[in-house]
Amino acid sequence: MVGIFDDMAITRLTVEEFLSLAAHHPVLDVRSPGEFTHAHIPNAFSMPLFTDEERKIVGTAYKQESKQKAIKIGLKYFGTKMVKMVERTEEIIQSNAANNKDLSSEKPTVLVHCWRGGMRSAGVAWMLDLYGFQVYTLVGGYKAYRNWVLKQFEVAYPIRILGGNTGSGKTEVLQEMHKMGATVIDLEGLAHHKGSAFGSMGQLPQPTQEQFENILAAQLSQQPFTNNILWLEDESQRIGDVNIPPAFFKQMRETNVYFIEIPFEERLDFILTHYGKFEKELLINAIIRIKKRLGGLETKTAVNALIEEDVKACFDVLLKYYDRQYQKGLMKREQLKDRLTKVDCAMVNASLNAQTLLSI
């Protein structure tokens, strides 16, 4: 390589090489806090060279005056932060000591990137290299990483879909399958949402669309695909406020679905256990959100039952509504006719149902 790195012990890596090392060494994202908060490489540490306001000032100077003017302004900000950035890097390395071992060097290893692999990462890499760290940077920066992310959704995956009416405990079944050695990705877990009007209850705030894609791409790239199968739950493309990437969702819609058939009362009891614990006001607000589709009479019936402390009667109405919606969605999927396998299950029992599915 030629250029700014000529006299430095810094190696520039492709995305694949960078991510391979990132499995064992800390990644320092030197973009601004706002850029990092919006989306970042999973498990990266935010160590901004500039604040959001400083980045804006430097960028304006670069566009409206000159590169040299922007660099001078940037150096003023950088100079006052050098010591703190070195100390922060040492703290990160110490906290990751168990995984921070590079067989080719006794130096502590760090990986650094900015937006395009330009001056921000170059400046921080130079400082950390000077201090004595083994430093690697990412060719093309986060922008190159995002191109890599989008390509992951175009790869052909050996997908099998776990279907079933609401209250079948599909997420729990997937978790049990994973414990039994199957390859599983929990899309709802990644999205922090259960997919229905009640799906945000008890969940962490959802990631941005870009961060959801980053996390999903990381999961896909790391999977061993046991028995050449990847299990996913049957989902709509939209999960709360995020969307499954179109190319990947297309694959999900064109593969085999294993639909677990569980009696209504069993599913109703399961739903009561999971959602009956939430505050009445939260439940009523969720019901109101689906009023148009649920219908005025059934909305009134469900809300009144909740007010009268008859939670089971409320969820009886809601579960029948979701059953109708799910079946309607299945009927619209013409390509599913020859790819739908129904699996009878007597109860909502994650372990037993997981064993049944894996034996097919």
Domain CATH number, residue 139: 3.40.250.10
Out of 108, 130, 149, pick the residue that ends a domain: 149
Q: What pLDDT is attached to residue 50?
A: 94
Residue with tokens 């209850």: 201
Using one digit for the tens of pLDDT, what is the confidence trace for 256-297? Answer: 999 999 999 999 999 999 888 889 999 999 999 999 999 999
Query: Is 60 within 8 Å of 74 (Cβ atoms)?
Result: no
Does residue 3 fall inside a structural domain?
no
Q: Which residue has the higher pLDDT, 119 or 15?
A: 15
**Residues 225, 247: one domain?**
yes
Query: Is 346 within 8 Å of 263 (Cβ atoms)?
Result: yes
Sequence letter at residue 197: A
Angle 101-105-107 from CA coordinates, rounded to 5°: 75
**Residues 123, 168: one domain?**
no
**Residues 58, 111: one domain?**
yes
**Residues 46, 21: one domain?**
yes
Distance CA 89, CA 110 (A): 8
Does residue 1 fall inside a structural domain?
no
- Work out the widest C-alpha separation in the chain, in whole angstroms: 76
Pairing of strands 242-243, 238-239: antiparallel
Is the pLDDT assigned to residue 206 strictly greater than 80?
yes
Where does the pLDDT of residue 330 fall: very low under 50, low under 70, confident under 90, or very high at 90 and above? confident
Q: What percent of the chain has pLDDT over 70?
A: 95
Where does the pLDDT of residue 4 fall: very low under 50, low under 70, confident under 90, or very high at 90 and above? very low
For 293, the token pair is: 């589709």
Domain CATH number, residue 225: 3.40.50
Q: What pLDDT is attached to residue 7?
A: 52
What is the arithmetic mean of pLDDT over 159-173? 96
* Catalytic annotation, residues: 114
**Residues 87, 207: one domain?**
no
Task: Beginning with the edge strand found earlier in the chain, give each strand of the sheet holding 159-164 in spatial order.
Answer: 230-233, 159-164, 257-261, 340-344
What's the number of domains the chain is made of? Answer: 2
Where does the pLDDT of residue 135 fall: very low under 50, low under 70, confident under 90, or very high at 90 and above? very high
**Residues 227, 253: one domain?**
yes
Distance CA 53, CA 71 (A): 16
Does residue 5 fall inside a structural domain?
no
**Residues 37, 135: one domain?**
yes
Out of 149, 181, 200, pick the residue that ends a domain: 149
Sequence letter at residue 170: K
Q: What pLDDT is attached to residue 97?
A: 72
Where does the pLDDT of residue 197 fall: very low under 50, low under 70, confident under 90, or very high at 90 and above? confident
**Residues 254, 313: one domain?**
yes
**Residues 260, 131: one domain?**
no
Q: What percent of the chain has pLDDT over 90?
A: 75
Choice among 36-40, 42-46, 331-335, 355-359 with the minimum mean pLDDT: 331-335
Is the pLDDT assigned to residue 44 strictly greater than 70?
yes
Is the pLDDT assigned to residue 146 strictly greater than 90?
yes
Q: What pLDDT is attached to residue 99?
A: 54
Distance CA 168, CA 326 (A): 12
Query: Which residues contact residue 91 at a Cβ distance below 8 angstroms, ignoring those fewer than 6 apart?
Result: none
Choice among 41-45, 50-54, 197-201 with the minimum mean pLDDT: 197-201
Q: Which residue has the higher pLDDT, 269 or 360?
A: 269
Is the sign of the CA dihedral 152, 147, 143, 5 positive or negative?
positive
Query: Is 303 within 8 Å of 326 (Cβ atoms)?
Result: no
Is the sign of the CA dihedral 58, 59, 60, 64 positive or negative?
positive
Q: What pLDDT is attached to residue 74?
A: 86
Out of 121, 149, 177, pick the residue that ends a domain: 149
Choice among 82-86, 116-120, 125-129, 243-247 with the minimum mean pLDDT: 116-120
Q: What DSSP assignment string belongs to 178-214?
A: HHTT--B--HHHHHT--SSTTTTTT-PPPPPHHHHHH
**Residues 132, 225: one domain?**
no
Distance CA 144, CA 129 (A): 23
**Residues 129, 179: one domain?**
no
For 258, the token pair is: 């294993």
For 191, the token pair is: 């999205």
Is the pLDDT assigned to residue 131 strictly greater than 50?
yes
Is the pLDDT assigned to residue 5 strictly greater than 70?
no
Q: What pLDDT is attached to residue 332?
A: 79
Where does the pLDDT of residue 3 fall: very low under 50, low under 70, confident under 90, or very high at 90 and above? very low
Distance CA 219, CA 18 (A): 16
**Residues 23, 112: one domain?**
yes
On whether the pTM is more than 0.85, the answer is yes
Is the sign of the CA dihedral 22, 26, 32, 36 positive or negative?
positive
Q: Which domain holds residue 85?
A: 10-149
